[in-house]
Chains A and B, each alone.
Chain A
Amino acid sequence: MGDSDFAYGSSLSVDSMKTIAESIGIASLGDDAAKELADDVTFRLKVIVQDSMKFMHHSKRQKLSITDIDNALKIKNIECQYGFIQPDSLPFRFASGGGRELHFVEEKEVDLSDILSAPPPKIPLDVSVRAHWLSVDGVQPTVPENPPPLSKEAQKSESVDPISKLSKPTNKDAAGKPMCGKAARLKASESVHVKQLATHELSVEQQLYYKEITEACVGSDEGRRAEALQSLACDPGLHEMLPRMCTFISEGVKVNVVQNNLALLIYLMRMVKALLDNQSLYLEKYLHELIPSVSTCIVSRQLCLRPEMDNHWALRDFAARLMAQICKAFNTSTNNLQTRVTRLFARALQCPSQTNNETGVGPSMVTTMKESEKTPLASLYGAVQGLAELGPEVIKVFILPRVRWLGERVEGALSGLGGADRLAASNLKHQLLKVLAPVVRQLRQPPDLADEYKRDYGYLGPSLQQAVSKVRSSPAGGGGGGAVAVVTCTPPLVPAAPSPSHHAHTSHLSHTAKTVETMATRNVVISASPAPQSPAPSTPPPQKFVIVSQQKPPQINLQQTQPASGPGHIVVHSSQPTIVRSQNVQSVVVTSGPAGGAAPPQKVVVVGVQQPHHLAPATQASILPAASVGLTAAHVSQAPVSVVAKPVFARGGAAPPPPELDDLSHLA
């Protein structure tokens, strides 16, 4: 025990005594008097605090409260301090400055008339008693009323240091099954430490749960899906099922990317989101499955059947956000997660000139260069989005140097014929501008000259310049300042990029796979099946909405304006802010969007929270292919379900029936 943590005597200082004296009008308190007072007050305060500890203990609390002090004063026959009632503990504020440190209690001035005019506060809820089973024959059931069997810290330490699990004495904690019968006796008699085999079998209940959850998550009933995701995000005690859940997700992504099943991919990503949001789970052990799945959904060349129609961009955005969340939560100095993810995306953005500069990659350099030249625009979009979510520094280092090349690609695609490509290019351009503008604004000094921008950033320069100046002036609300973008005519280096389906898929696949291999030994599946070529409309496709949240009022609005866009609707639940994206803003009537006739593609963010039930049935029916059902069935059948009715109360005669457990959701 060091002397430092051994404080026998903290005491009030002479200075505080003087300050207090001044505050009550005694201007000059002598040093001796102050010292004497400080000592005495310190002594008395300590005695009172020591006595109030007794009251705290007898109130069966571990936090000292004001009433304890009052009671301690009472037993000293001192009038207690009235008017200091605080239901909870007092938050001490801390301030320092001028070499002084000060702890104080924040006291707000209260206007009495405000209190009087305010509606009377709610009557606090009355105390009530709820019963649940803490243990049934020595086994703790995993119900929401009980704490999760394995705390997040334990899961974390286990994944970081697996040996700790073995060195721990057999779990006397409530988790798992009790050691009894033969096992216990064996253990008592043998001192040899045998490595505990991990148990991987799930109980019947858990198997049923798994089946229900996975079916609901990819099923057609939006209400059930919401419940299932809620369960995934909130339930404690899922950690035993985590390996299976993660496998389900990763296999599901593999299959559905090949089949270009956008809706299912979205559902799977929402499962990932729910698992990430679950406070009682620690996912690090399963990142090797999750990250390839998520990154597939970001950079895959094709995620939907009709790239020119369906809004796979939202999925890429959503997955990119997930990836950023994963990086934020699990990045450590040992796994270098963020570095590796960044590298993955950066490789996708590799432009030829830089590839040449980088040395030592190997003899396949030339082919790599050519392939990356052909990286589909959708993948580029995903990579940009993935990097953008990782923060401005990443944008500065990895996206900005490649703007010129990216601009060339965009330009090439825009001038090309493929409708899908043009859409992709405009999306990419828009995204780039949106992402880069704040960063460039920080980097460059105010005089934004279009020529300089063009020199530095190539094709995208002028648009970027506009965007930057817009950002700069945005607080003032002014427009772009009249600098009309000069339409540049830099010929694209590559002849118009062919539409994705004409690519040599194999080579591309190998490239992406290689980049991912650094992450884990799993392949990111990038769509390899040629999409059925729908005739590319020369005009931008009709309006589409992706609503990435639960919302009500705007939707009615939208439906009225675009009754014909049924097939284009995708409804996605999440806690993310709602994004309603519309291309070709001809007839949109969105409350907040300044819909000009010739406005560029714009995003309208609508924040709303409500169930979209009125929308759901029509749209889902059109989205859900039959494949999803087959997939679920296939996965569920992996877990052998043998329904054996397990008697919950083995000793029915002795124990009374379990008390009624109704919904204790407010306990959770």
Chain B
Amino acid sequence: MGEKNTPLLAVLQLLRKYNLKGTEDILRKEASLGDVEFENLDLPEVELASILTSHHTESDPYSYEFAYDNLKKFVENSLDIYKHELSTLLYPVFVHMYLALILYDHNEHANNFLEKFGPEQEDYYQEDLKRLSIVKHKDQIKGNELAEIYSTNKFVVQLSRDASSQLKRFLQEQKSSTVIINIINNHIQVDVHDGPGRTQAQVRSTTGGLLGEATRNENRTKVYYGLLKEPDIQVLPAPVEDEEEVEETPDKPKKKKAKKEHIFMKKPKSDPNAPPNDRIPLPELKETDKIEKGKALREASKRIQLGPESLPSICFYTLLNSGHTAICTDICDDSTLLAVGFSNSTIKVWTLTPVKLRGMKSAEKLIDIDREAGDVLVRMMEERDRDTCRTLFGHSGPVYKVAFDPFKTMLLSASEDSTVRLWSLQCWTCLVVYRGHVWPVWDVRWSPHGHYFVTAGHDRTTRLWATDHHQPLRMFSGHLSDVDCVQFHPNSNYVATGSSDRTVRLWDCLTGTQVRIMTGHKSTIFTLAFSICGRWLASGGNGELIVWDISTGSPAALLPPMHTAPIHALAFSRDGTILASGSLDCSIKLWDFNAISEEANGEEAGGATTTVQKEDKFLLRSFATKNSPIKGLHFTRRNLLLAVGSYEGSS
């Protein structure tokens, strides 16, 4: 295809798109374009637009530098109240200028442009720029993930009304900035909000997403972040006496209180934030599950109240001889089992108590058991053949996540082989293989009520499954890059996902829609954790830790970057007062979550502003391990913190 003919072809394509047959024929005749090139009319939409609107400037690569310089000067010279908001424009303009230069074959200029203005972009974009900088030819745009995202999506920039009018005035005055006007028209979505311009800290707290910030109206949907009413405490036979006993003790743990509140709130409208119990159909509790719940309640009554002055004890489980092979860990809810997924496709389950792991009897023997017997559950298990560790084989790739179900009868695992497997902890065999993801599955989580689980993977989708269906019930798609982590909301109605596009999104399980998009992370998000009360969401990336208020979708607290390596484990204490974070830098840090949530609440009352925490007043303690990166954290029901890490030698 001739270089000169590109705009003509673009016009031709446009004419065809609008079905202007007559004009198309005339143009074809005049430009003497043969029929051969008819098939070549497959320019991407955006490329087409940029060709049509800016082909007269394409020949002048110098105008880009000049225009960008002008824009920069304009931003620098504008008033302080607009400056920080306007400065968010620079990066997308820069990126699209670079791509445009590449697109028009000014490769040398593109390189110079990148080297001249690249280093002065915000530091959190540098990683992206490095990834983008490998695109050095227009053929490579198509194959490059990042360049495609940029050219097919609009970058969102939030401006106050005043700032946007400033920008308009600038664009009208400047004759030479047609390039910028084109880019802003085609690739940037300016989201105008009322109110004063934001400060630097405010702007910084929400920028950083792959496509800028979230637009305001994306986060308007109401989110029922309250907890579900616990259905059947009265039914439980065992804990009844316990409950009375508990009510007598003065320092009754919080969860209990919360539950009692729920009991009081039998009138449905009293907790406006809790979803109706039947919003999502939840599974009926089995008899064994009820016993398990009863145990949990009794344990919870013996819980230590944690706080800045009474820090939890930490028991650290070191995986020896594992080197780099141990990838993921999970500890079941009653803290009796530890599962570890390995890079050699195996899963190992250890018992953490003297109770050994037992398998079920063979089918022939099971027939003989009287099913009506009271101790049928004990009888069906093998008497001999006990072990402290069992290995599950089945995957054909590294196991990236293992998860115990809430009643510790089953285990889910997600692997590089793009399958999710359900294992029985009674037979110690694989029950189901869930196929659906195309590429590696990064994360899998159970619903807090069991039955449902959610997976996330490299194919940029999040899928909601039920254990009795071999196909997903919902697919949440919208992330622009890998979905790296996923987490169920405590009320099972929502799913939060964190992605390499540096956004955290909240999805409604009922409708399958995205209800929150939260930007502000400057790096890939590796782990998520909902607070016990359901309102807050903590997310950990490469050293950064952000707490979100999911009622508004805004960051409630940006915790200072005390970790120097990716955070792969987050856990809230059972009373919700302490947030523990574990990182690959071999340290566990404890944060005062009471103070964090109080401050966030106070700010909301005082004007809904967020500030970056300069001092480390939320950090309570930091515990270093001996060269053992932390791979999992878990609070027991009594608020003892369990941590798992693999020892990596003394190199």
Contact = CB atoms under 8 A, between A and B. Distances in A.
B624 A127 contact: no
Interface stretch (A60-68, A431-439, A631-639): A60-68
B36 interface: no
Contacts of A75: 439-440, 458
A39 B136 contact: yes
B321 A6 contact: no
A133 B316 contact: yes
A231 interface: no
B15 to A, nearest CB: 35
A169 interface: yes
Contacts of A664: 318
Contacts of B143: 47
Contacts of B629: 60, 62
A373 interface: no
A609 interface: no
Contact of A180 (B309, B482, B588): B309
A623 to B, nearest CB: 37
Interface stretch (B66-74, B112-120, B170-178, B426-434): B112-120
B502 interface: no
A653 B343 CA distance: 39
A134 B643 contact: yes
A343 interface: no
Nearest to A182: B309
A128 interface: yes
Interface string B308-329: 1111111111111111111110
Contacts of A42: 134
A127 B304 contact: no
B308 A180 contact: yes
Contacts of B342: 127
A127 B625 contact: no
B324 A63 contact: yes
A67 B343 contact: yes
Contacts of B500: 54
A6 B114 CA distance: 11
Interface stretch (A136-144, A375-383, A474-482, A549-557): A136-144
Interface in B522-550: 524, 526
Given A50-B131, A59-B343, A43 B319 contact: no
Contacts of A169: 615-616
Interface in A115-136: 124-136
Contacts of B130: 8
Nearest to A61: B324
Given A1-B119, A43-B136, A651-B304, A71 B416 contact: yes
B56 interface: no
A164 B303 CA distance: 40
B144 A47 contact: yes
A496 B352 CA distance: 79
A603 interface: no
Interface string B125-142: 000011101111100100
Contacts of A184: 308-309
Interface residues of B, number: 86
A235 to B, nearest CB: 13
Interface in A1-25: 1, 3, 6, 8-9
B322 to A, nearest CB: 5
A360 B348 CA distance: 79
A309 to B, nearest CB: 45
B318 A667 contact: yes
Contacts of B638: 654-656
Interface stretch (A171-179, A364-372, A512-520, A538-546): A171-179
A59 B318 contact: no
A328 interface: no
A292 to B, nearest CB: 34
A6 B118 contact: yes
Contacts of B588: 134
Contacts of B520: none
A195 interface: no
B97 interface: no
B192 interface: no
Interface in B479-534: 482, 484, 500, 524, 526
B93 interface: no
A130 B118 contact: no
A186 to B, nearest CB: 13
B318 A145 contact: yes
Interface string A133-172: 1111110100001110000000000000000000001001
B565 interface: yes
Q: What class of interface size applies to chain A in its complex with B?
A: 35 or more
A525 B484 CA distance: 69
A195 B307 CA distance: 27
Contact of B442 (A58, A131, A654, A667): A58
**Most interface-central of A58, A71, A145 (chain B CB within 10 A):** A58
B566 interface: yes
B159 interface: no
A666 B622 contact: no
Contacts of A124: 321
A285 interface: no
A61 to B, nearest CB: 5
Contacts of A63: 324
Given A134-B623, A654-B304, A65 B324 contact: yes
A127 B313 contact: no
B568 interface: yes
A57 interface: yes
Contacts of B621: 135, 138, 172-174, 178
Interface string B333-350: 000001010110000101
Interface in B601-651: 615-616, 619-627, 629, 631, 638-641, 643, 647
Given A75-B439, A180-B308, A134 B134 contact: no
A132 B316 contact: yes
Contact of B458 (A54, A127, A131, A172): A54
Contacts of B340: 127
Contact of A147 (B304, B398, B566, B625): B625
A181 interface: yes
B622 A172 contact: yes
B129 A8 contact: yes
Interface in B274-312: 302-304, 308-312
B383 to A, nearest CB: 25
Nearest to A151: B624
B400 interface: yes
Contacts of B309: 180-181, 184
A129 B315 contact: no
A59 B315 contact: no
A447 interface: no
B111 interface: yes
A46 B132 CA distance: 10
Interface centre among B303, B568, B626 (most CB of A within 10 A): B626
Interface string B576-594: 0000000010001000000
A138 B573 CA distance: 14
Interface string A606-634: 00000000000000000000000000000
Nearest to A173: B622
A47 B144 CA distance: 8
Given A129-B350, A656-B640, 13 more contacts: A8-B133, A39-B136, A58-B327, A58-B440, A60-B631, A65-B324, A125-B321, A131-B315, A132-B316, A134-B643, A135-B313, A146-B625, A173-B621
What are the nearest 9 A-B pairs in CB distance?
Answer: A138-B311, A134-B316, A8-B133, A134-B314, A135-B314, A46-B134, A125-B321, A654-B304, A180-B309
Interface of A: 1, 3, 6, 8-9, 39, 42-43, 46-47, 50, 54-55, 57-63, 65, 67, 71, 75, 87, 124-138, 140, 145-147, 169, 172-174, 178, 180-181, 184, 649, 651, 653-656, 658-659, 664, 666-667
11 contacts: A1-B119, A50-B131, A57-B566, A58-B440, A62-B584, A75-B458, A129-B389, A131-B352, A147-B624, A169-B616, A664-B318
